Amino acid sequence: MTITVEVKMSRLSKNDPSSYAQPENLVTRHVDLFWNVDFASETISGEAHLQFETVAKEIEQILLDVSDLTIDDVSVQTEGGKIPVNFFVSDYVKEIGSKLTVELPTSTSDDLKVIIEYKTSPKASGLQWLTPENTLGKVHPYVYSQCQAIHARSIVPCQDTPQVKFTFRAEVTHPPELTALLGGVRVSSENGKTIYEQTTPIPAYLLAIAVGAIVSRPLGKISKVWAEEGIVDECAEEFSETSQMLAIAEEICGPYVWKEYDLLVMPPSFPFGGMENPCLTFITPTLLAGDKSLATVVAHEISHSWTGNLVTNANWEHFWLNEGFTMFLEGKIAGRMFGNPARDFHAIQGLSELQDCLQGQLAKTPEMTKLVPDITGLNPDDTYSSVPYIKGQNFLRYLEDLFGGPSVFEPFFRFYLEKYKYKSLVSDEFKATVYEYFNGKADDKLAQVDWDLWLNGEGMPPIIPNYDQTYSKTVDQQAEIWNNNTVENIKKHPDINGNLHIWELIELLTVLVQNPNNVEITEDWINLLEETYGLVGTRNSANLFSLSRLYVKGRLFHRIDKVFAFLNSNFRMKYVRPIYRDLNKWPEAKPLAVENFLKVKNQMMKCCSLGVAKDLEIEVDL
């Protein structure tokens, strides 16, 4: 029977402030999923068979995370068959979900198999259902998942904490005219039934499914790119360097253990640049620039195959152990492909992004600028920012430079990956590993690291590494011209360079958005900027993002339609949230921004729509 009981936030797991699970008592080792994908009701229904290893001496109940799930029945599998058991679902805690308590027939220290029959909600935060009108082909519906950080609980009852890893097998029933993809290796697909397996343990947030009119093209021996028919060839060209990036990552990190590496180019509603689902990276279509200039995001997602997926943060307070390490590795891949100045420029661009984040998104919450923030009582989505990415990357680069450069630090990096592969850890364990490796080798260097300042200090990184300035000098020179001259003087300035490398142009526009001199952004200034750098008609989303922010910053009201056109062309949070925050500070434009958001909010994933509502400081029913 089902009983609803009240639960307080303080009763979440002592090991993970975002989960009710108690892995100190038992841990999930394998899950068998039997799913029916129903587009008519916008639900997934079926069964989850969870196999647990009991850790405690004796347990009487199992606690799982759920969110907006209808639990129909719970039973325990025994040698004699299934035994129905009592279960209780707690009150829903906003943006966190509920606790499912499963009462065992008797206290036990044995391993367990629990069978749960359930159905998702049409409003499941981890699923995005698209009508045919919202797809490229306009014929078939589409559904995809996004489980990071704590949205797996809206798709399956689980221990939704990254400290628990499990293998899975999934049998998915779906419309036979559509293709189903999951984050694993396909076993079979026939007549609307697709089976996948993942034999390498993963945390719940890496569960992934997509069902739609999707086709593929080859990228390499173990890689394909999937997308809707209308763009798949373009995608194959844009991401043709995938196999090269994967090979470089293996040179740095060691063998790739996931067997396959496919890309799925998502519908525009996908809220992130990429999501590192094992075997099946989800990628935003905003990367389709036509010149591979934004394709290093693929290097980032490939890097997650080691830093994040193989070695994982134990909870979301230590997210930098995923993203800082991945940014660090992404930079190394870029350096090997394009040279060390490119690697360092990549890092310098990140510092610009971080500065913008601190001055904007996190201006009122400096405690969230720590590498290891306290997120008790918060949805991890609310704490998402560039801090773990960029500050974490700079910390690792500082350590690499301090200990003697790549030739010294990369062997340590491989030692770290080997030590923690298939495991999850917190920052103190990383610190202990640094000491374990370098004790007796570099004691004087170890003494110089102020761990407390790096991990718990607020604001920008306490030390900025000595990055190569080859590319950034050009950007700084161009920015100086635009920030300190009239339009007429800019036109005849001898040092104006209209032939910047695309990376330099992206960074220049970013710097101009952040310019400290508050240059007057007029129509003539914008026109000259666009003409000088060939930005009229650009399809590069990074540059369209910066141009939109410049239009808003200059209060160029007659260009607001262009701003909304960009906002409605994609719902990538990195782009839409800063623009909505900018619009919120423009009194004349805010009502139009709210009106536009309300029209499109149902096309966004919940994590995006919730974030934008907060950016606009409005309450909406989502």
Structural domain includes residue 264: no
Q: Cα separation of 322 and 325, whole Å?
A: 6
Joined together, the tokens standing for residue 290 give 């036509």
Would you say residue 292 lies in a domain? no
Q: Is the pLDDT of residue 2 over 80?
A: no
Asked if residue 143 and residue 61 are part of one domain, the reply reads yes
Range in 132-136, 178-182, 429-433 with the lowest mean pLDDT:
132-136
Domain boundary (410, 426, 456) is at 456
Q: For 13-17, 92-96, 323-327, which range has the lowest pLDDT when averaged over its residues?
A: 13-17
Residue 560 and residue 593 in contact, taking contact as beta carbons nearer than 8 Å? no
- Claim to verify: residue 446 and residue 482 sit in the same structural domain: no
Instruction: Answer yes or no: are the C-beta atoms of 22 and 81 closer than 8 Å.
Output: no
CA distance 484 to 487: 10
Determine, yes or no, domain membership for 118: yes
Percentage of residues of the chain with pLDDT beyond 70: 97
Residues 116 and 147 in one domain: yes
pTM exceeding 0.85: yes
Residue 12's pLDDT is what?
55
Q: Is 530 found in the same domain as 447?
A: no
Q: Helix, strand or coil for residue 344?
A: helix
Residue 454, both tokens: 């790096």
The verdict on 412 and 507 lying in the same domain is: no
CATH of the domain at 403: 1.10.390.10
Q: 4-18, 72-86, 224-238, 566-580: lowest mean pLDDT where?
A: 4-18
Torsion of CA 121, 122, 128, 131, to 10 degrees: 160
Residues 6+ apart with CB under 8 A from 389: 320, 323, 324, 326, 327, 350
Q: Based on the domain organization, do 429 and 483 belong to the same domain?
A: no
Do 450 and 483 share a domain, yes or no?
A: no
Same domain, 94 and 162: yes
Cα separation values, 98 from 12, 91, 114, 166, 610, Å? 10, 6, 18, 21, 19
Show the tokens assigned to 199: 């034999």
Residues 606 and 299: their CA atoms lie apart, in Å, by 27
Residue 582 sits in a domain of what CATH number?
A: 1.25.40.320
Q: How confident is the model at residue 94 (pLDDT cuts 50, 70, 90)?
A: confident
Strands (E), 85-147: 87-90, 98-108, 112-119, 127-130, 142-145
Contact of 321 with 430, CB cutoff 8 Å: yes
Q: What is the mean pLDDT of residues 128-137?
A: 93
Other C-beta atoms lying within 10 Å of the C-beta of residue 3: 10
Indicate the number of domains in the chain: 3
From CA 350, how far away is CA 392, in angstroms rounded? 11
pLDDT score recorded for residue 11: 33
Asked, for residue 168, whether it belongs to a domain, the answer is yes
Let me know if residue 89 belongs to a domain: yes
**What digits encode the pLDDT tens for the residues 150-182?**
999 999 999 999 999 999 999 999 999 999 999
Please state the rounded mean pLDDT for residues 241-259: 98
Within a domain: 255: no
Mean pLDDT computed over every residue of the chain: 95
The residue from 198, 213, 228 where one domain ends is 213
> Is 451 in the same domain as 478?
no
Average pLDDT value for residue range 26-54: 98
CA dihedral 335, 338, 339, 342 (to 10 degrees): -70
Instruction: Provide the pLDDT for residue 45.
Output: 98
Q: Judge residue 356's burial from the number of C-beta atoms within 10 Å of its C-beta, 0-12 exposed, 13-18 middle, 19 or more buried.
A: middle
Adjacent-strand bridge partners of 479: none
Q: Is the pLDDT of residue 620 over 90?
A: no
As a whole number, mean pLDDT of residues 254-274 equals 96
pLDDT band at 15, cuts 50/70/90?
confident
pLDDT bracket for residue 362 (50, 70, 90): very high
Residues catalogued as catalytic: 301, 389
Nearest Cα neighbor of 302 from 248, 232, 353, 338 is: 248
Residues 73, 136, single domain; the answer is yes
Q: Is the model's pLDDT at 7 over the cut of 60? A: no
294 in any annotated domain: no
> HSE on the CB side for 52, CA within 13 Å?
30
DSSP assignment of 185-231, as one string? EEEEEETTEEEEEEEEEE-GGG--EEEES-EEEE-SSS-EEEE-TTT
Which H helix or E strand runs over 274? Answer: strand 274-275
CATH number at residue 169: 2.60.40.1730
Ramachandran class of 95: left when φ > 0, alpha when ψ lies in -120 to 50, beta otherwise: left
pLDDT above 80: residue 522: yes
pLDDT at 9 over 60: no
224 in any annotated domain:
no
**417 near 55, Cβ under 8 Å?**
no
Rounded to an integer, the average pLDDT of 603-620 is 93
Residues 163 and 15: beta-carbon distance below 8 Å: yes
Backbone φ, ψ for residue 97 (5° rounding): 110, -155
Q: What would the two tokens of residue 283 be?
A: 């990628």
Are the beta carbons of 276 and 256 closer than 8 angstroms? no
Question: Average pLDDT of 453-469?
Answer: 97
Of the pLDDT bands very low, low, confident and very high (cuts 50, 70, 90), residue 517 is low
Could you list the residue range(s) of the whole structural domain that residue 333 is in? 311-456
pLDDT at residue 520 tops 90: no
pLDDT at 13 (0 to 100): 56
Please provide residue 379's backbone torsions phi and psi, each rounded to the nearest 5 degrees: -75, 130
Going by pLDDT thresholds of 50, 70 and 90, the confidence category of residue 78 is confident
Q: Amino acid identity of 136?
A: L
Same domain, 486 and 344: no
User: DSSP 3-state assignment of 125?
Assistant: coil
Residue 472 has pLDDT above 60, yes or no: yes
Q: Quick one: 493 and 448 in the same domain?
A: no
Distance CA 162, CA 276 (A): 14
Q: Where among 213, 242, 260 does a domain terminate?
A: 213
Q: How far, in Å, CA of 458 to CA of 453, rounded?
A: 8
Per-residue pLDDT at 4 exceeds 80: no
Among residues 123, 162, 163, the alpha carbon closest in space to that of 42 is found at: 123
